[in-house]
Structure formats: structure tokens, C-alpha cells
């Protein structure tokens, strides 16, 4: 689902740029730190999900002394048609989204048309961070593979919020029984969707990891958020007194995790920094390969500072895997020569980013 043209106005230090990227292959963005390379990746990500991958408020994203940001793109669809996507964010106002010259009602509509996978320093959270990062990883894939997933996920979280409020407010038993029934129904379906997705993901992930790094003894498995084999309704009933005391629901899909171990030890405690980078990149590439296989959609990959912490052999293996997916890829590095040897004989288009301006080499 590649972009054929991208127009960015007043996004961070990018005043007004137009990019016509390579549809299939590597779009290599190089330039000094602070030149705007990462901001360009961030703008594409923002167009997909309506938020930044950096920790910041929307006001900081809008270029200094300007009122609003605009991102506009032409996208090629699977049947070789073209659709326009647009997004506007004002300093003090709601996000406005346009798809094919019509107003869109939610960011989910935009995300469904523009699957984007980010690879940057924050990806280490998939290994080092808490379960929330890995649930988000699983739910990204589920969103694209199962049409009902978003509704089920939203319904579960709404029921969870209401049960937690009832617990904190000391609501009577009969009201909690109602929330328990609703939560149980949504929890079981959400858990099943995640289980089904993980069953598809694990073989793909093991294959992808093996192409980047040798990890004998690798174990991958899903933890549902309550004990395996236990009935969820019975778990809620048994934990009611403790839940009342704590003021929240202790067990359920909101506590799920995706575990990655090597010889029964957490992968993060064994792998070097470079190995961790290869592992989390393998996770993301496996997601992309699975997305294509199951839906015929291909993600756009955004890779910030790919050369960092990887030797030339590892870089070459990673780039080979990326090129095999035959999708659109945006890669940043400080120096033009950083990936020249790795990108030799591959489809690549060079862009020099300097002081918020972009030119094609």
C-alpha cells in the first residue's frame, strides 16, 4: 500500500516539502542530526495513526509560530488505483481526516488503509518494557487480520472501565454480577482472537528470527492474563473481594503478555544490544510478512538509523529480508555512505535532508 507522493507542511522543522518516493524499494534519507530525517518518518507515521511516536504534545509537532500542520498523500491501492489521504491538526482544535476527498470519522479508517511499521530505538520496549508494549504489538496485527477485533477490543475495555468504577464505588453484588457477565463475554472473544493470531505469528516469527540470528532454545508463547484452563467467570468471582480492596480488576486480557525466552530465561537478559535489535526487527518483519500473506496488504516500513549497533553482515541480512518483502521502505542514516555497500544492486532512491528541506539525489 505504498505512497506515490507526500506533501508535508509545518510539521516540526519541515516547512513545506514534497516527496515522490520509490514505490517498491528503499527510500534512503540521509543528513546531519537535527536536519529533519526523523521528522519525515514521524510525519508518515502520524498520517497513519494520528499521533507521534515521540513523547510530546500535538502543539510541539506543529512548526514554531505556525497555526496548523498538514500532511497530504497519494496512495496506490492493491488494484492499481489511487486514493488521496489528508490530515490536518491545528494548535487548538480537533484532528481532521480526509480520505478520497471525503471527511473520515475516525483514525481507524486511515490506519486500515495505511499500515505502517516503525523500527527505531523505542522498539527495544518489545523486549525490555512491560506487557503493555507486547499487547500493543499483538493487537496491531489483530487489527488488520480480524475485522471484528477493534470493536471487541473497545467493548472489552469499556466493560473493564465500568467494572473498575463499580469496584471503586462499592456497588452492590447484583450490579457487579452484570459487569462480570459482560466482561466475561468480551474477554473470552478478545482472548480467542489473540490466541488465533499468535498461532499464526509464532511459526512466521521463528522463521524470520532464524534468518537474522541463531537462537537455539528460543521459546515463544502467549499468556492470556489469567491461569490457563481456568474459567474466566469463576476467576472474576473468586477474586471479587481482592478486586474490591484493590479497586480494579486483577485478571483478564488487559494483563496478557507475549513471552520470549531462550532456554527458559527471558530473552532480554541474554541478548546483546545488537542481538536485541535484530530480534525486535524480526518481530516487526514477521508481522509484515503475515499481514501480506493473510490480507494481501503490505506495510510501509519506517526505519530510523538502521546502521546503528549492527555490523555489516547483520545489516546485509536485515536489508535482504526487507527487500524480499517487495514493499515501500524509508530508511535514515547520517551519512550517504552508511548503507551504500548493503544497498548495492537493490532498488533505492536517495534523498538529502538538510535544515528541513529535502532534495532527491
Place of cell 492470556: 224
pTM, two decimal places: 0.93
**Cβ distance 264 to 195 under 8 Å?**
no
CB neighbours (10 Å) of residue 56?
12
Alpha helices (runs of H) in 296-357, residue ranges in sequence order: 312-324
pLDDT per position in the chain (361 positions), as tens?
A: 799 999 999 999 999 999 999 999 999 999 998 899 999 999 999 999 998 988 766 558 999 888 999 999 998 777 777 899 999 999 888 889 999 989 998 899 999 999 999 999 889 999 999 999 999 999 999 999 999 999 999 999 999 999 999 999 988 888 888 889 999 999 999 999 999 999 999 999 999 999 999 999 999 999 999 999 999 999 999 999 999 999 999 999 999 999 999 999 999 999 999 899 999 999 999 999 999 999 999 999 999 988 888 888 898 999 999 999 999 999 999 888 888 778 888 999 999 999 899 999 8
- Across the beta sheet with 300-303, the strand order is 116-119, 300-303, 328-333, 25-30, 348-354, 357-360
Long-range contacts of 263-271 (CB under 8 A, 24+ apart): 263/216, 263/217, 264/217, 264/219, 267/127, 267/215, 267/218, 268/127, 268/128, 271/127
Phi, psi of 219, rounded to the nearest 5 degrees: -120, 135
**Helix, strand, coil abundance in the chain, percent, nearest 5:** 45, 25, 30
Angle 131-145/273-295 helices, nearest 10 degrees?
20
Dihedral (CA of 98, 71, 351, 320) sign: negative
Distance CA 321, CA 342 (A): 12
Cα 254 off chain centre by: 18
Amino acid at each position: 500500500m505504498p505512497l506515490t507522493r507526500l506533501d508535508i507542511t509545518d510539521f516540526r522543522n519541515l516547512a513545506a516539502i514534497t516527496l515522490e518516493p520509490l514505490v517498491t524499494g528503499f527510500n534512503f534519507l540521509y543528513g546531519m542530526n537535527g536536519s529533519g530525517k526523523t521528522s519525515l518518518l514521524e510525519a508518515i507515521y502520524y498520517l497513519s495513526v494520528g499521533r507521534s511516536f515521540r513523547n510530546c504534545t500535538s502543539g510541539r509537532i506543529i512548526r514554531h509560530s505556525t497555526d496548523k500542520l498538514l500532511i497530504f498523500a497519494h496512495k496506490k491501492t492493491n488494484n492499481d488505483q489511487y486514493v488521496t489521504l489528508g490530515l490536518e491538526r491545528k494548535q487548538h482544535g480537533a484532528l481532521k481526516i480526509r480520505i478520497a476527498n471525503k471527511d473520515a470519522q475516525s483514525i481507524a479508517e486511515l490506519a486500515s488503509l495505511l499500515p505502517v511499521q516503525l523500527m527505531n530505538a523505542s522498539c527495544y520496549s518489545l523486549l525490555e518494557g512491560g506487557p503493555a508494549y507486547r499487547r500493543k504489538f499483538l493487537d496491531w496485527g489483530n487489527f488488520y487480520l480480524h475485522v471484528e477485533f477493534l470493536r471487541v477490543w473497545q467493548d472489552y475495555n469499556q466493560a473493564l472501565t465500568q467494572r473498575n468504577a463499580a469496584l471503586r464505588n462499592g456497588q452492590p453484588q447484583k450490579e457487579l454480577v452484570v459487569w462480570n457477565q459482560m466482561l466475561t463475554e468480551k474477554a473470552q472473544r478478545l482472548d480467542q482472537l489473540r490466541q488465533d493470531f499468535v498461532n499464526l505469528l509464532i511459526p512466521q516469527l521463528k522463521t524470520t528470527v532464524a534468518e537474522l540470528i541463531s537462537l537455539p532454545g528460543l521459546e515463544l508463547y502467549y499468556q492470556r492474563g489469567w491461569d490457563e484452563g481456568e474459567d474466566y467467570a469463576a476467576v472474576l468471582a473468586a477474586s471479587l473481594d481482592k478486586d474490591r480492596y484493590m479497586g480494579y480488576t486483577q485478571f483478564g486480557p488487559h494483563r496478557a503478555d507475549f513471552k520470549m525466552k531462550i532456554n527458559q530465561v527471558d530473552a532480554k537478559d541474554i541478548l546483546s544490544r545488537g542481538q536485541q535489535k535484530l530480534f525486535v526487527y524480526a518481530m516487526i518483519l514477521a508481522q509484515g510478512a503475515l499481514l501480506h500473506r493473510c490480507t494481501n496488504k503490505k506495510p510501509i516500513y519506517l526505519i530510523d538509523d538502521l546502521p546503528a549497533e549492527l555490523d555489516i553482515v547483520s545489516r546485509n541480512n536485515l536489508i535482504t529480508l526487507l527487500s524480499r518483502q517487495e514493499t515501500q521502505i524509508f530508511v535514515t542514516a547520517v551519512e550517504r555512505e552508511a548503507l551504500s555497500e548493503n544497498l548495492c544492486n537493490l532498488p533505492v532512491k536517495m534523498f538529502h535532508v538538510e535544515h528541513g528541506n529535502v532534495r532527491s539525489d
